[in-house]
Structure 1
């Protein structure tokens, strides 16, 4: 451990919500770290409590800001106030032992890394500290997804004890307001090329009831990764379903009477075409949202795709497909009328008409929706 004088200052940021039982010990531990390292430090408590948490924290010299609603908001506000050259974050419930901050600070101060993650899964998890669903299913799956999508190599993506340099914080474009900030921070660190290192830590059980909501919070992380990387979640599956539907439908149409004799396969292929188109459109919506909110770096291709002229072409294409579907549908209706409203062997034409109309409308509505999202954005895209 380092004990040198004139060390750069350290900021410890803690979000809190009704942690009056543990806030005192957390602040004491942080102050012990300041003393051990011989540095000037500050403790920032981003609070949204209805109990005495804020009062206790302020009485111990911490800077209390709030009330701030939302996990991500608390960190964004707290980090904005941090003045230290090094910044550490941890929950105020004493599940993370702030006396272990030396494991984070030493490699940062030695210049060995820019961003330090704690890992509970390679450290010690005390009995009752983490539900088995989180420890063996949720956390490993979400961590694996993040590693695959963003080329990281971490073992515990949702560990809340972390530390990084002030310079690294300024490089990361952190925006999210909820629990997904934990994922965003890692994604941004990887995208900025920060040197990420993991250190094993001990995880303790909470005294107060947990505020985590397993499935809701898990979905928020998945949704955020989907927003950053719509390809594996939407574009690739959507394209696969669409092409599969096209191949099934086209093969039956090219075989005489096959569509009529194999009606169920023909309907399946048509359904896959429509579903694939909807999945691809959803990917387009998410990509547009990400571009508008600056979530991608150097996305020239995406911006070009969303240009006004591209949207005009999408409207034109959708209108032509819809018109073709309506023409085929009118032909079926006309045949039905002149046959005396009797039974028809126009299954192929009727289904094709339905598919073309659905795909055409999807393109039109997609173009309209995207153009509405881009109303307040620079139209020179």
Structure 2
């Protein structure tokens, strides 16, 4: 088979489908120096296509192999698509765009998945599923196939976070064997170049309400003698970072609301006098930290609003009519009035504190008394400026959004 180099996206452009419009399935494998196991994977995939009668192809998205993987792939009848941009996600994005099948089933080329047993994926795809996820925890993880850190901590925790944040039905966010409608996945405009591509696909498919199904999948031990490309802590953090970036409620709103409400409550409790809890006395120092929590909390909630507007405009988040309705109520003018009132309150409290200082000839003061005026004064001024500037920035985002929509 011939080798193709396709420019762009990030270095690969959409393939021409005219010459192979009848293909139903592309079996796609990302590859970076997989000479040890690549042939076995291709043979299994070809055997499945021959046995099932599915009109399909095997595509190897090569990410710059230097061990002869390309020649091995061609010798076994696979089509090689070179992808210059490095990374697991980059290779798969290039391979998906170059695929000629209506459906794509992707899987690692390390012989950890059985490409001769793809019937459940194809069946679900034919029944209308747009993404079919493998689930290794349901299908079985063979001895030595997955490190204990991944099996009992990394995968379960990240999957649980993904299910909580996005209400995803997937029970194994990081299974490398999955099938999907090529057109549906291309519409998601996947961008992640690294291992977090696996999470991006599931998250965006869930957000865009694609039809998602799940099938039990067996994970076999890696057939290579060298260590895998995966780096546990680095790639785990990149997955977690992605999940947080796509869930502004959990990243900004919920922590911000807790900080704001807790800080405001703490200030109200500590303003009149010092409070004792057991043998611990909380005074102006605790009041100061409560004020900090209030300011940081409001800023975090504002960041949630900014992110929701921007994320919706860029297609990262779905339109939320409840959010839009509440945002319309919070007009620039109302925000300016609320911020202005906070500024006035802060200045008034500052003036009272200044008068208290003047009553003693601007000499020494007792911090316990004066700071109960200074701290709320400074807090109100900070909150006022935050609210005013935040409302102006929201108005800027809405103007940009209106121009984009037009």
TM-score higher than 0.5: yes
The equivalent position to 1:355 in structure 2, one of 379, 382, 390, is 379
Residues 124 and 213 of structure 2 are in contact (CA less than 8 Å); yes or no, is this contact kept in structure 1?
no
Residue number in structure 2 paired with 1:279: 300
The equivalent position to 2:35 in structure 1, one of 20, 37, 40, is 20
Residue number in structure 1 paired with 2:317: 296
Residues 14 and 91 of structure 1 are in contact (CA less than 8 Å); yes or no, is this contact kept in structure 2?
yes
Q: CA deviation at 1:134?
A: 0.8
The equivalent position to 2:230 in structure 1, one of 212, 234, 237, is 212
Counterpart Cα distance in 2 of 1:58 and 1:306: 57
Deviates more, 1:135-144 or 1:226-235: 226-235
Residues 126 and 202 of structure 1 are in contact (CA less than 8 Å); yes or no, is this contact kept in structure 2?
yes
Residues 104 and 199 of structure 1 are in contact (CA less than 8 Å); yes or no, is this contact kept in structure 2?
no
Residue number in structure 2 paired with 1:237: 255
Q: Deviations over 1:8-59 (max 9, x none)?
A: 5211122222223222222222222221122332222222224133343344
Q: CA deviation at 1:163?
A: 1.0
1:188-337 alignment runs, 5 A limit? 188-190=204-206, 191-207=208-224, 208-253=226-271, 255=272, 257-258=273-274, 262-300=283-321, 302=323, 310=331, 314=335, 317-318=338-339, 321-322=342-343, 324-326=345-347, 328-329=349-350, 331-333=352-354, 335-336=356-357
Deviates more, 1:272-281 or 1:241-250: 272-281
Residues 58 and 64 of structure 1 are in contact (CA less than 8 Å); yes or no, is this contact kept in structure 2?
no
Residues 127 and 205 of structure 1 are in contact (CA less than 8 Å); yes or no, is this contact kept in structure 2?
no
Q: Deviations over 1:150-173 (max 9, x none)?
A: 333332111010112345435645
In structure 1, runs of 5+ residues without a counterpart are 1-6
Q: CA deviation at 1:113?
A: 4.1
Q: Deviations over 1:247-276 (max 9, x none)?
A: 2212343x4x45898334423432321232
Residues 129 and 206 of structure 1 are in contact (CA less than 8 Å); yes or no, is this contact kept in structure 2?
no
Counterpart Cα distance in 2 of 1:166 and 1:66: 18
Q: Deviations over 1:219-242 (max 9, x none)?
A: 332333333332234312321221
Q: Deviations over 1:148-204 (max 9, x none)?
A: 333333321110101123454356453433333222322333342404122222332
Secondary structure in structure 2 of the residue aligned to 1:44: strand
Q: CA deviation at 1:97?
A: 2.2
Counterpart Cα distance in 2 of 1:136 and 1:18: 29
Residue number in structure 1 paired with 2:15: none
TM-score normalised per structure 2: 0.78
Residues 133 and 179 of structure 2 are in contact (CA less than 8 Å); yes or no, is this contact kept in structure 1?
yes
**Shift in alpha-carbon separation, 1:136–1:152, aligned structure 2, 3 A:** same
Counterpart Cα distance in 1 of 2:46 and 2:165: 38
Aligned residues: 372
The equivalent position to 1:9 in structure 2, one of 14, 24, 27, is 24
Residue number in structure 1 paired with 2:152: 136
Residues 322 and 360 of structure 1 are in contact (CA less than 8 Å); yes or no, is this contact kept in structure 2?
yes
Residue 59 of structure 2 corresponds to residue 44 of structure 1: yes
Q: Deviations over 1:296-328 (max 9, x none)?
A: 223345567778x94676566546534643554
Residue number in structure 2 paired with 1:185: 201
Residues 46 and 67 of structure 1 are in contact (CA less than 8 Å); yes or no, is this contact kept in structure 2?
no
In structure 2, runs of 5+ residues without a counterpart are 1-21, 276-280
Residue number in structure 1 paired with 2:364: 342
The equivalent position to 1:72 in structure 2, one of 84, 89, 92, is 89
Counterpart Cα distance in 2 of 1:43 and 1:79: 12
Residue 130 of structure 2 corresponds to residue 106 of structure 1: no
Q: CA deviation at 1:81?
A: 1.8
